[in-house]
Amino acid sequence: MLFTDRVDAGRRLADVLRHLREEDPVVLGLPRGGVPVAFQVARELEAPLDVIVVRKLGVPYHRELGFGAIGEGGVRVISDDIVRRGHVSRADVESVEHAEEAELVRQAREFRAGRERIDIAGRTVIVVDDGIATGATAAAACEVVRAQGAARVVLAAPVAPPDAVEWLRTEADEVVCLSTPRAFSAVGEWYRDFSQTPDEEVVALLERAAETAPPASPAKTEEVEVDAGGVRLAGELTMPDGAAAAVMFAHGSGSSRHSPRNRSVAAALNRAGLGTLLFDLLTEAEGADRANVFDIEILARRLAGATHWLRTRTPVPIGYFGASTGAAAALWAASTAGTDVGAVVSRGGRPDLAGPRLPGVRAPTLLIVGGRDTTVLDLNRQAQSALRCENRLEVVPGATHLFEEPGALDEVAALARDWFTLHLTPQEP
């Protein structure tokens, strides 16, 4: 496949990435050449555009051959194999890194022209380049956006060698590449016009994207210390302006407030105007003991205590979102007198572990299970039969326990959003 130029490549790539529009993504272009391609993708998906600045580390006597890359946030990716075969000394590695670090800082400052970096926490992020050679720069970019809190990372490029694409599938959640020719020697050979992209063009494209981007919904996020019945637990409270309700996340099976899947769902709820509280149900020491992870009564007691704490911070209705064993804790806590929970959603959960407490749940409950998670699906059906409240079981076709399949987690987020909006927020008559 031969591309006319980067604009042509970006338009063709955007056509293939349309399925991501519903995920409300952020598009990040790798400067310089990746930005014109990313601009077309962002325009088609009506998504915000920013740069992800990484610098290739080139072998001193052969700069086109990269032995690694560095990125914002101190991320460093080194190919030990190329260092060894290229006879790159430790002094050479340090010298090249030092020079590229200075250029990385300069580029980030110049390209953004005083604008703040777009917050990608909890978002689907599409990293775009004009082509991939070794994959080191793209891998560094994926690590950078993960370190910045992205919930899902999609790597997109018009062209790349097959072996690089296979490797990068281990670095990104999804890789989209239009052409993977086996006879690959350089990215430029697959473009009619592969002239260098100047810094001024990158700045101009980012400015144009910023001018046309829809305003972000204002939301205040703060690190909090949750009082869960006398136990202090670390949390993150996000309340969009005018939030009509708040959803508390009950993580399970040793997960924490940093769970990328729960953060992705929380971000979708925030964009719908719902507040969220992500917090750890166990202290770090308690989490080291696997027995505590399955002590549903303790988890539920913590959740109930945290609910009383949250009511001192906001008067809005409260819902629970539980995953795995956290779903059982959410239902147990919802059956406890005084919690007054307005709705419960379980994702791939184990509501059956709430056992005899299930008939006491009064909050409308949505159970979401992957169609290929057959054992858990059976357990959810058993638990549903014990519920006496309004309830529904939703099966996501083709999804497994962690909902890692393309689009599966987005369906979970949409189902949760609609359930909480229906049951927690005032409805028009």
Residue 23 belongs to a domain? yes
The rounded distance, in Å, linking the Cα atoms of 54 and 66 is 12
Same domain membership, residue 115 and residue 192: yes
Residue 361 belongs to a domain? yes
Closest CA to 397 of 388, 405, 389: 405
Kindly write down the DSSP assignment for every residue of 129-168, as one continuous string.
-S--SSSHHHHHHHHHHHHTT-SEEEEEEEE--HHHHHHH
pLDDT on residue 253: 67
Same domain membership, residue 225 and residue 147: no
Residue 121 belongs to a domain? yes
Residue 429 belongs to a domain? no
Same domain membership, residue 190 and residue 226: no
Domain end: 212, 240, 271, which one?
Answer: 212
Domain end: 153, 178, 212, which one?
Answer: 212
Nearest 5°: the CA angle 25, 69, 95 is 145
Query: What is residue 341's three-state secondary structure?
Result: coil
Same domain membership, residue 312 and residue 387: yes
The domain in which residue 63 lies consists of 6-212
Token pair for 250: 């009950």
Same domain membership, residue 131 and residue 157: yes
Q: φ and ψ at 369, to 5 degrees?
A: -135, 145
For helices 34-45 and 6-16, angle between their N-to-C axes, nearest 10 degrees: 40
Same domain membership, residue 302 and residue 192: no
Assign residue 128 the CATH number of its domain: 3.40.50.2020
Query: What is residue 122's three-state secondary structure?
Result: coil
DSSP single-letter state for residue 244: -
The rounded distance, in Å, linking the Cα atoms of 190 and 407 is 31
Same domain membership, residue 42 and residue 190: yes
Using CB atoms within 10 Å of the CB of residue 211, give its burial: 0 to 12 exposed, 13 to 18 middle, 19+ buried: exposed
Token pair for 28: 């990040």
Same domain membership, residue 147 and residue 255: no
Same domain membership, residue 262 and residue 122: no
Tell me how many helices (H) and strands (E) the chain has: 14, 16
Closest CA to 343 of 316, 369, 324, 325: 316
pLDDT on residue 61: 78
Residue 250 belongs to a domain? yes
Same domain membership, residue 227 and residue 173: no
Domain end: 192, 212, 232, which one?
Answer: 212
Same domain membership, residue 276 and residue 156: no
C-alpha distances out from residue 319 to 245, 295, 340, 358, 417, Å: 8, 21, 9, 16, 11
Kindly write down the DSSP assignment for every residue of 22-47, as one continuous string.
GG--EEEEPTTTHHHHHHHHHHHHT-
pLDDT on residue 427: 61
Residue 320 belongs to a domain? yes
DSSP single-letter state for residue 363: S
DSSP single-letter state for residue 3: B
Same domain membership, residue 248 and residue 153: no
pTM metric for this prediction: 0.56
pLDDT on residue 429: 45
pLDDT on residue 219: 62
Residue 234 belongs to a domain? yes
Domain total for the chain?
2
Assign residue 397 the CATH number of its domain: 3.40.50.1820
Mean pLDDT for each consecutive 10-residue tract of the chain (429 residues)? 96 95 91 96 94 86 76 75 84 86 86 84 92 90 83 95 95 96 94 95 94 63 89 91 92 75 87 91 78 86 94 94 94 89 94 95 96 95 96 94 82 92 77
Q: Are 171 and 142 in contact (CB under 8 A)?
A: yes
Residue 134 belongs to a domain? yes
